[in-house]
Structure 1
């Protein structure tokens, strides 16, 4: 079968909430002692990676939320690391709250992004380093972060992670318009596009970026 390109269809806040709901189910089933294990091949442990995911959701919501979102830089929050080499974030989950607290932070930050994306005009634009984007684009970014970081976390937790294939296809069409989908399907193509795996005839990527700009614009990768 020849590689094909997916036709872009809308990515919605409902999609974001569905992916995170599935991610939370994986997290809730993990043994308490597993959270300090490395998240796949990342330098962060599973706890830090889920915390990073929550921070992504928060920052995407914050970027879209102002009446006039910035087009030339990020909303200027203070970023900090809890340890050398750890993720640099605005939001940190309190370790003493345990996994339930970490999950609550993820769910809360996801709810913020979904709410902002639902209420903002589709014409809203805001800065991202991978291209000025719209509410749908930031929603798709949150989904990709959840999909691939849960791939990392699930490897560390020793859990299975099976994301919705239709959502994978739609975020691929929205953010990775240059990536053809072959027989492997959209999920494997997304893992390849984000540098997680190699595919037949496609060496593993050592660097990558998505294109967050709305279709029909020239900005972005």
Structure 2
């Protein structure tokens, strides 16, 4: 089961990996994405913030996100609520990621087990939103690290917990990190080409039929 500590750990590891990026080094494309490395980390922070809101309120909607306004800074850019001022540089970006992770970890820790909240990939519970947050951080750090040419391999057990929670029926493969990258359309596995479409199943395990 993915825990609040897993959310914090994923971000701590991401910060360790990305902390050496110079303030002016973030504008490269993030892997195969059209977004920049800055934008993809900013997007991960925004996801953590949004998930905290969904599971953190006592009466979350089951048919929509909370009505928090979001927008893109330019046509085709990421639509977000959380934007990081560029004068803050690398440290400001990574501190914002940590702050949003703390919000999600706290919301998950305080949510009762019966609470459910909306996500388009399935109405989910607190541990589901924790797993979603971990996946967002792990794979978007992969995107940024690819663009920045820095190594990034998160712990296998951290990957496995999110896989088990959100991606049932994955191919047999010895490396959970590679399996997670395949599950999210970022890597081919033997006999399994890179996925062009994918989604997780956020429904609580007892609710699946």
Deviation per CA, 1:87-113, whole angstroms, max 9, x where unpaired? 100111111211111111111111000
Q: Which ranges of structure 1 fall in alignment gaps of 5 or more residues?
A: 1-9
Give the counterpart of 1:199 among 177, 186, 189.
Answer: 189
> Is the Cα contact below 8 Å between 1:13 and 1:139 reproduced in 2?
yes
2:157 corresponds in structure 1 to 166
Matches of 1:168 and 1:67, distance apart in 2: 29
Q: How does the TM-score come out when normalised to structure 2?
A: 0.97
2:26 corresponds in structure 1 to 35
Matches of 1:153 and 1:181, distance apart in 2: 27
1:208 corresponds in structure 2 to 198
2:83 corresponds in structure 1 to 92
Q: How does the TM-score come out when normalised to structure 1?
A: 0.92
Matches of 1:182 and 1:216, distance apart in 2: 25
Instruction: Supply the RMSD in Å over aligned alpha carbons.
Output: 1.1
Give the counterpart of 1:75 among 42, 51, 66.
Answer: 66
Matches of 1:99 and 1:218, distance apart in 2: 41
Matches of 1:105 and 1:83, distance apart in 2: 21
Q: How many residues align?
A: 209
Stretches of 4+ aligned residues off by more than 3 angstroms: none
Matches of 2:172 and 2:128, distance apart in 1: 20
1:6 corresponds in structure 2 to none
